[in-house]
Amino acid sequence: MSRSYFISGIGTGVGKTITAAVLTQLWAAEYWKPIQAGDLQQTDSDTVRSLSDKVKQIHPERFRLNLPASPHEAAAQDGLSIALEDFELPVTKQPLIVEGAGGLFVPINEQHFIIDLISRLQLPVILVIKDYLGCINHSLLSINALRTQAIPLAYVVFNGNFKPATRSIIHTHLPAHTLSIDIPEMEMPEAAAIERVSEHIKQQLN
């Protein structure tokens, strides 16, 4: 389905959930977080629900794990194991935004990583980038990993403020036809801010 994507990041805490909220608002999309590790009282699904009033449906997580850790560790702590075969895309009527856990090489078991889950689900990727010391390296490694596994990189999201030199070098090494989206710095995102940003992005992409 067009405009169905897997959101990953160059690391943890770079803004995947905020990006998911913005894009579900922008495209009136459905949302799915396959693995939630930790924060079960306020999940990423709960956050998207509170920030995007246009999200059409939020699909239940396949795994809800107690420990805020990599899925393979959190699952082991809960006496569970995760296999790629556990995941199938939900049936949807609208575009679907799927949010991963951490970055591409976060392990879901001893052999497989988030990037393997993306390959199984056969969705193009939206890669979220935040500017910090080391983000160029993490960004280019992520871009190269997607290229190596022939996973399309549809968008990169520059989340927050960026040094011009950082943004420029990442842009230089994007695959052809990859689009970029800018999300401004938001310390305390609220639904009204998410709506404003989604309208701004609509203008960027038109």
Q: Which residues contact 50 (CB under 8 A, 6 or more apart)?
A: 191
pTM: 0.94
pLDDT of residue 202: 86
The length of the chain, given as a count of residues:
206
More confident residue, 56 or 165: 165
Instruction: Using the structure block, give the residue that is written with the tokens 């805020």.
Output: 68
- Write the CA distances from 80 to 4, 65, 76, 192, integer angstroms: 29, 9, 5, 39
Q: How is residue 43 annotated by DSSP?
A: -
Write out pLDDT tens, residues 62-113. 999 999 999 999 999 999 999 999 999 999 989 999 999 999 999 999 999 9
Q: How confident is the model at residue 1 (pLDDT cuts 50, 70, 90)?
A: very low
Most confidently modeled of 54-58, 97-101, 195-199? 97-101
Please pick, among 16, 33, 54, 93, the residue that the annotation labels catalytic.
33
| Nearest-angstrom CA–CA distance, 15 and 203 | 21
Q: Is 54 exposed, middle or buried (0-12, 13-18, 19+ CB in 10 A)?
A: middle
Write out pLDDT tens, residues 4-49. 999 999 999 999 999 999 999 999 999 999 999 998 999 999 999 9
Classified as helix, coil or strand, 99 is: strand
Active site residue 33: yes
Identify the CA nearest to 115 among candidates 151, 86, 71, 164.
151
Q: Which residues contact 97 (CB under 8 A, 6 or more apart)?
A: 4, 5, 7, 20, 23, 24, 27, 29, 30, 31, 32
Query: What are the structural domains, with CATH classification, of the chain?
Result: 5-205 (3.40.50.300)
Alpha helix segments (H runs only) across 40-190: 44-51, 71-77, 114-121, 135-148, 164-172
Tokens of 58: 């939020």
